[in-house]
Amino acid sequence: MTRSVGQPLLRADGRAKVTGQARYSAEVPVASVVYAVMVTSDIAKGRVLEVDASAALKEPGVLDVLWHGNAMRLPGDLSPADRGDRVVQVLQDDRILYSNQPIALAVADTFERAVHAALLVGVRSSPERHTVEMEDELDRATPQDINRASGARPADQVLGDPTLGLRQADASVEATYELPPETHNPMEPHATIAVWSGPERVTLYDATQGIFGVRKKIAKFFAIPPQNVRVITKFVGGGFGCKGSTWSHVPLAALAAKQLNRPVKLVLTRPQMFGMVGGRPHVRQQLTVGAKRDGKLTVLRHQSFSTTSRFDTFLEPAASVSRDCYACANIESKHRVVRLDIGTPAPMRAPGESSGGFALESALDELAHKLSIDPLKLRLRNYAEVDPMEGKPFSSKSLRACYEAASRRFGWEKRSPKPRSITRGGLLVGMGMATASYPANFSLAQAAARLTADGTALVQSGAVDIGTGTYTVMAQVAADALRLPVSKVRFDLGDSEMPESPRSGGSQTAASVSSAVLLTCNALRDRLVKMAVADPASPLHGARPEDVAVEDGSLSAGGRADTYVEIIRRAGGQAIEERGEAKPDPERKRYSLHSFGAQFAEVLVDPDLGTTRVTRLVGAFAAGRILNARLARSQFISGMVWGIGMALHEHTVYDARLGRIVTRDLADYHVPVNADVPEIDPIFLDEVDSHVDPAGVKGIGEIGITGVAAAIANAVFNATGIRVRTLPITPDKLLQLPTAERQQRPSAHR
């Protein structure tokens, strides 16, 4: 039988999505549902003095306007439910902590009436002095430890003597790199439907990356047992980190439904996606890299400052990438948070590695230029055979092969090291490259597998498919473990009544859930073999289990055969089920666990207009066992496209005077569109790793973006000779050429 793992099978949920049969959270039909629309603050800090709902309540169909003066008091603990959770605002007091904070909720019998009612609500507030600018609070930045799925790490780490390393360097670069705040903009906005079926039992249809996190939070807030909270999420229209936490709107929907004794649907508008539900914070990074003339690094210093809210803490662990990427005897990394009057940030695709990689890989490019060494050769000169900071061996590392495959496909040998030396049609041509890396995360996950009388299998886990193809790849893993054609296996997910799994974030779902599915299905297959050899009525009776081969649902040994269908029939016809789990083994701690890759970019820069167009991207990635070649390609491409957005487009702009985000929709907040996306060529190496997890899988959802912004910025320097250290790379940053260079530059109209 042909194994299905690794094959480019079509999405199991593809037809349902393109035909509209797939129901997203806001589309689930619920009888007698009413609609809630949030009223949000227009100041960044202060207090609500009065909410005037009189005009709204006079309108037809308006059921109520809830605010802190009349909303029910939540009986439970309002602190975060776990370390990945956030502090939220749910109409329990008069404090305004950031602009766009929910301060009232209009509820009506139709969505249109709820929108109209929300517009009629008058709010009188008392503003207080605020700041949304990092510069204002930079001198009060504080250290912050790193908390990730792979475990906690200290804010600061030092290896060797960085001061001595800097003195030993023949050349060095000291520079500051900056990323603006960025905002998630998944196609599906956040949405929740809350339905109470008694005073202590609630069902939530929620657009979330983690149904068990939602269950914990709602149970904690309402002081009810977790098993009384059911969360269902069958499809998510993009998450990328913003749907990993349970934000204010979720308990607000549950609160309104309980107080009004009606099912309530609450869907965020696009402007409400800005500030209330996270985003990448403003990140400023100070880099010092130094090397001998041959390119051998003598020092690597990386300090990161990232913004967070005053009432909660989120850290962008940008400097962590410098701890385990390159061989260097003297490394120092520091993380600081800067508290502002903003909503709490959140993980955004490859948090830490994508932002930190921009700074680190840009600095190395600057160092290579100063030393007149090819940037790829500089990285190979400092290739880390073991984890530099911890001295651990890597569980697997195929980065050399990634460099080789990507550089060959890209044609790196054609690059000229001299900026502004190659033109095409009057445009400046540049080539750049960068390293990609991301931790290989793996968390406890559970699964259940059931084989039915007709020989088909149902496998379940409470994971969430955020569009990556979890329905498909888990069916492939289960099919191979059960020795069945994938057509006879169905995988289901997204219900908190199923076995528990971690949030779909941190590139851990494929590794964690596939390991649980693999072990559970292996146990079910072994159980069926044992049933057969122990059954006097089976042709395999008396055979040794280890001698029994299984293919296509048929068992054989010594010329005798039995089938799953017959085994179940003889056992009474009832489905046979196994439940199991996979969790990190202590042995795993002996290794440094990462996915690696190499990114190469070509750009064209118009010297008259300063516009940049990415014309080619080539990336090679080594990420453990590839479960589905088609879906893996999609994941890598999507990450690389997002890297274009990070490099050239994305910027959440605050009005410092009002403390308000002014880029509040997709007209003002720019993301790449089809015209911005060039030929993208991902290469992935199927890597054998027996240490990373039982399935040998490393996540790929996030590594695709890492290194892209740096590769593009490095290509822009190669094209123009201008080093852009603050993203995004916009025309104004490329038009500041010295007068002499302006006179010498090639004409775009030539």
User: What one-character DSSP code corresponds to residue 430?
Assistant: E
Q: What are the Cα distances from residue 722, in Å, to 680, 726, 730, 731? A: 25, 12, 12, 12
Catalytic option among 188, 366, 566, 702: 702
φ/ψ (deg, to 5) at 430: -135, 150
Half-sphere exposure of 149 (CA within 13 A, CB side): 28
Contacts of 535 (CB under 8 A, 6+ apart): 541, 567, 570
Q: 478 vs 159, 169, 301, 470, 545, CA distance in Å?
A: 44, 54, 46, 12, 20
Q: Which residues contact 278 (CB under 8 A, 6 or more apart)?
A: 86, 184, 241, 242, 245, 247, 314, 343, 344, 345, 346, 347, 348
**Interstrand relation of 297-309 and 554-557 (parallel, antiparallel or unpaired):** unpaired
CB 182 within 8 A of CB 348: yes
User: Among 356, 299, 376, which Cα is nearest to 718's?
Assistant: 376
Task: State yes or no: is 59 an active-site residue.
Answer: no
* Nearest Cα to Cα of residue 464 among 432, 504, 513, 433: 504
Burial class (CB in 10 A: 0-12, 13-18, 19+), 653: middle
Say if residues 550 and 560 touch (Cβ distance below 8 Å): no
Question: Residue 608 pairs with which residues in a beta bridge?
Answer: none
Question: Which amino acid type is present at position 688?
Answer: V
- Of all helices (H) and strands (E), which one includes residue 363? helix 353-371
The pair of structure tokens assigned to 527 is: 């159980």
**Which residues are annotated as catalytic?**
702
